[in-house]
Amino acid sequence: ATNSADAICTDSAAGATAFATGTKSNNRAIGVDRFGNDIENVTELLATKGYTNAIITTDEITGATPAAFYAHVKDRAMEMKILKQLEEEAPIEYFIASGQKNHPKYNKLKYSFTDWHLAQPKESAMSIRYFKNRMDLSAATTEMLAKLQNNNHAFFLLLEGANIDNSGHANRLAPMIEALYSFDLAVAQALQYAFL
């Protein structure tokens, strides 16, 4: 079950940690058990078996859901620690996210952020495509699947349509429907890739 260990209503951090690790955690916690101990996530496990790991999210790279698949912190607000773990420890080869690449919190990252292509950074094994404007989730999925297919390795791909949740919280129906549609197209592309 994905419900949190310490509350009736589960938040994204605890829910995603349950998906990523198979272990319940407290609300706001990422990649740790209810006592704050680090727990192995699926990308760490698959990396030991030679898999390529990739993440696509319409959230920022430090969002609770994607972070649960590479970070270990007691609170989702610990963004700088999450970024440091992403940079130094995460077994993620490809990352597509949304946000502003020039935000001050990213200034210390070694990664090269690009807008429209997946470029291999010189100082890292990770490629990041960072959308500064509205992101088309289905287009990002097409691009990522092409990149992963050319990689010739078994792979794990996390796909998150964060704008569904964000629009729901904001009571904005039209953007939520648009985000649901885009997510549906992305899932269709993943299923088509898997079964064709």
pLDDT in tens, 115-150: 434 444 444 567 777 666 677 888 889 989 988 888
* Distance (Å, whole) CA 35 – CA 53: 27
Least Cα distance to 161 among 147, 145, 175 occurs for 175
Q: Are 137 and 104 in contact (CB under 8 A)?
A: no
**What's this model's pTM, rounded to 2 decimal places?**
0.87
Q: What average pLDDT is seen over the chain?
A: 86
